[in-house]
Chain A
Amino acid sequence: MEILESYLRAIKRGLPRAQSDDIIKELSDDLSSQLEEQRAVLGRPLTDEEVFAFFKQHGDPMTVARRYRQDHRSLSLGWELIGPELFPMYGILLSFNLTITIAAVVVAALIMHTPIRVGVFIVPVLAQIICLTVVFSILNLVRRKFPQPWYYPPAELAPMLPVSRWYSLAGLILWATVTVWWLAVPHFPQLILGSGAAHLELAPTWHRFYVPILLLALASVAQRVVSLLHPTWTWVVPVMRTVINAAAVPILGVLMFRSPTLVVLAAGVQNTPSNEQLVENCNGLIRWGILGPWLWLYAGISAVIYAWYCIPHLRRLIRRTRSGSLSVVL
């Protein structure tokens, strides 16, 4: 059964590797027995919704997997920042991000023929550690506050879960802020250039990217609004995130790798060595700090992941179209 397999796969990801096959075999038998018992009681096969309700009651795959783990590692600073359920995922993502970041910095330094010094790694590596720790701490806080819902359903189960209002609301606030900030940048360049705005201005390259980036931000706002108003339209999230992230890849790619100068000296400002240094620092900060290859990679990886999440929706759509109940899906 597809849903059972998906559920077990999701649990398996969080299990100790040496025992995972054994545990999954045993859980599979137990869950199958319970489902068979329910079928026997009802005297008919269970619907997808009933099967999903059964798994929902059984528990979030991550929480189920955690019970089998002996190592309850977590991150604390006097109080719990990242609990044992999230810590393994945090560790994996942090290692992955740091590897990619370090590789990207090395490759960029080689392409641009700049010396590879320890200093060039500090900002991107610290930014990764801080951002990921903050994101996981917030997720941990939400999990502690609302322990019941499933926050990380496997792709195949996701279509059956209404989109959390918290997810939509948090995303709406975030993307509305980003959009307002982006709209304000042409009028208040200091929002991006900081105190350097007195001597610097955005290079003409920005004008080419201004509207596409604005459209991406607006699309992200629209997606959150739709999800907030219609949480059961679960296809909206993966479809729109796939489109938005896929569109962001070439835009950020060109901005990052094909636009040598993002910031120039403002008209009328003298071209002194200190001002040239300021331009170079500001370009470096925007390129490696604010944007950074990690944002470009994030968009690319997210596009692939969300595309993967679209597959079960497509499968359901095809199945329901064939059975003539398209309206139920949309």
Chain B
Amino acid sequence: MTPGNSNHDLFENLRLELRRGSLILAVLASLQTEQYGYTLRKALTDHGMPIDEGTLYPLLRRLETQGLLLSEWREEDKRNKRFYRLSEGGKAIFKQLVAEWQSMNSSLDGIL
């Protein structure tokens, strides 16, 4: 492995690590209004946070298992879709996370 490749891999790993936490916040923020997977993914992409299905759906399931999301199957456009929205617990946690994010952001601004 060349040093260039190794640096690229390292950057990629760190970037993914940085992105992982932000994605959860972005998903929770987007699900303040009810959406199904496909529209949620498009909304995130439109806001500059592209995410592939293989990452989004497992994440949604995990957040639901943790009690942050609620979901239900409903028919729309002649197809069954699973709609997600924030649960009451999810809303509370989301507020706390946003406050934490803003505080970290301002601290980082000072450091950077």
Residue of B nearest to A16 (CB): B61
Interface stretch among A19-27, A151-159, A206-214?
A19-27
Chain B residues touching A, majority SS: helix
* Alpha-carbon distance A64/B73, docked complex (angstroms): 22
Are A58 and B81 CB-contacts (below 8 A) given A29-B37, A33-B38? no
Does A99 touch B at the CB level, under 8 Å?
no
Residue of A nearest to B81 (CB): A29
CB < 8 Å A-B pair total: 41
**CB–CB A58/B37 < 8 A:** no
Are A29 and B55 CB-contacts (below 8 A) given A19-B61, A68-B61? no
* Alpha-carbon distance A58/B56, docked complex (angstroms): 13
Does B3 touch A at the CB level, under 8 Å?
no
**CB–CB B37/A30 < 8 A:** yes
Q: With both chains docked as a complex, state the minimum distance between the C-beta of B66 and any C-beta of chain A, in angstroms.
A: 12
Residue of A nearest to B41 (CB): A30
Does A67 touch B at the CB level, under 8 Å?
yes
List of B residues within 8 angstroms of A64 by Cβ: 54
**CB–CB A26/B57 < 8 A:** yes
**CB–CB A68/B57 < 8 A:** yes
List of B residues within 8 angstroms of A26 by Cβ: 37, 57, 82
Residue of B nearest to A65 (CB): B54
Does A59 touch B at the CB level, under 8 Å?
yes
Identify 16 residue pairs between A and B in the complex whose beta-carbon atoms are under 8 Å apart, listed by A's number: A19-B61, A23-B57, A23-B61, A25-B80, A25-B82, A26-B57, A29-B37, A29-B81, A30-B57, A32-B79, A33-B38, A34-B38, A58-B52, A59-B52, A67-B55, A68-B57
A-side residues, CB < 8 A to B, are 19, 22-23, 25-27, 29-34, 58-59, 63-64, 67-68
B-side residues, CB < 8 A to A, are 36-38, 41, 52-55, 57-58, 61, 73, 79-82
Identify 5 new A-B residue pairs, CB closer than 8 A, beyond the known A19-B61, A29-B38, A58-B52.
A29-B81, A29-B82, A58-B54, A68-B58, A68-B61
